[in-house]
Structure 1
Amino acid sequence: MEHSYGSRCGERVEDPRWVTEVRWVGVGGAVVLGTLLAVDAGYGRLTWPRCALWAGLALLLCLVLLPPRITAGRGWIASRGVLVERRVRTDRLVAFHWDEGSGGAVRRVILHDTAGTRLELDVGVLTATPALWLLLEEGAREALRNGTLTRGSAALTRLANRVEQETVRAVLMASGLEETPRRLG
């Protein structure tokens, strides 16, 4: 489904949940570090080199668990990890794949643009941040009109319908009209 209100999104949209997720990763790392230091101190083996080792291990855990930062603008979407940023031109997509998953599997959107760049996104980020989804969909629809999007137009339509269903369901739940949440998928 194409929306005329996709242009209302600002120049740049970010996933607002990212800051909270980073905070929880930091809390988890601090808890792991505190536990390791307490156990080591309890056994009387805590030394400065061991403190540094446990701090390094906690930092490594935080880096591994750090979620990518998803941002989008008109005609592009990007995912920035610890070391690498991948940016795909949504208005020049050649493939749009939605891994619908099964059961508790993580669902992903996989994008390929004309430059050969590949980007994977968690569907949960798109359903939780409608402005990101609208920018992605607007760019993908532009690629479809331009003829570059040759694989995935059906997946784009199916995902658009699912995102809209989730948005309606979230509004109904927030207003108290629906009691039991249903999962995407």
Structure 2
Amino acid sequence: MSATRLLAHAENREWAGSARSALGVAALLPLLLIGVDAAGGQSSPRRALLWIALGLLLLSVLWPTRVRAAPGLLTTHGLLRERHVRTDLLASVDLLAGISPRLLLVDIEGNRLEIDPRVFVSDPPLWYLVNQGIRTSVSRGTIPGGRQSLQRLSHFADGENVRLIFKSSGLL
């Protein structure tokens, strides 16, 4: 059986843990604030609702994006919306530098997806499917300068993997 057949789809494995952490923090904060109010004699239903609303706002900020990949398709599911891009029909691939690196993918249908490239570093099956899609786009010629974009992205992923190896071995 081929590797592509084995990897019919993949999704980020760290999503469930991140979602549990977001729920825990968002639930714990209002409980602590309500407890502090009660201990200080300031508790009221109105303040409790305020703290619960604050917890829900925090949950909306902390909620992780779920990333799924299938051959030729990358999808992200946020709290309120879903985005997808055809990785086998990409028009551009840009690795945006900054405080937090972002990978911007745009396909020929106009779909646009911006994602943290570290998701792929921590989940090789996702990276494999996205990499295969990008290579298909490069071979079809839909990405102008596609080889350079793919090389920059590969160097980023390789560099992150090297950092993880050095960190786990105690060299960093």
Tell whether the structures are fold-level matches, with TM greater than 0.5: yes
Q: Which residue pairs with 1:139 in the alignment? A: 133
Correspondence list, 1:72-91, <5 A = 72-91=69-88
Deviation (angstroms), 1:30: 2.1
C-alpha distance in structure 2 between counterparts of 1:6 and 1:155, whole Å:
24
Deviation (angstroms), 1:158: 2.0
C-alpha distance in structure 1 between counterparts of 2:129 and 2:97, whole Å:
21
Deviation (angstroms), 1:8: 5.7
Alignment of 1:97 onto 2:94: yes
- Deviates most, 144-153 or 123-132: 144-153
Contact 1:98 1:156 in 2 (8 A): no
Q: Which residue pairs with 1:123 in the alignment? A: 117
Contact 1:94 1:151 in 2 (8 A): no
Q: Which residue pairs with 2:29 in the alignment? A: 32
Unmatched runs of 5 consecutive residues or more in structure 2 = none
TM-score, normalising length: structure 2: 0.89
Deviation (angstroms), 1:161: 3.0
Aligned residues: 171
Contact 1:6 1:135 in 2 (8 A): no
Contact 1:96 1:110 in 2 (8 A): yes
Structure-2 change in CA distance of 1:171 and 1:74 (3 Å):
same
Deviation (angstroms), 1:43: 2.5
User: Which amino acid letter does the alignment assign opposite residue 150 of structure 2?
Assistant: L
- Aligned partner of 1:18 among 11, 15, 25: 15
Deviation (angstroms), 1:150: 1.6
C-alpha distance in structure 2 between counterparts of 1:6 and 1:98, whole Å:
27
Contact 1:96 1:153 in 2 (8 A): no
C-alpha distance in structure 1 between counterparts of 2:19 and 2:163, whole Å:
27
TM-score, normalising length: structure 1: 0.83
C-alpha distance in structure 2 between counterparts of 1:159 and 1:8, whole Å:
24
For residues 46-95 of structure 1, what are the alpha-carbon distances to aligned partners after superposition, in whole Å with 9 as ceiling and x for unaligned? 12232222112201210121111111110010111111100000000000
C-alpha distance in structure 2 between counterparts of 1:30 and 1:115, whole Å:
40
User: Which amino acid letter does the alignment assign opposite residue 179 of structure 1?
Assistant: G
Over aligned residues, Cα RMSD in angstroms?
Answer: 2.1
C-alpha distance in structure 2 between counterparts of 1:9 and 1:141, whole Å:
18
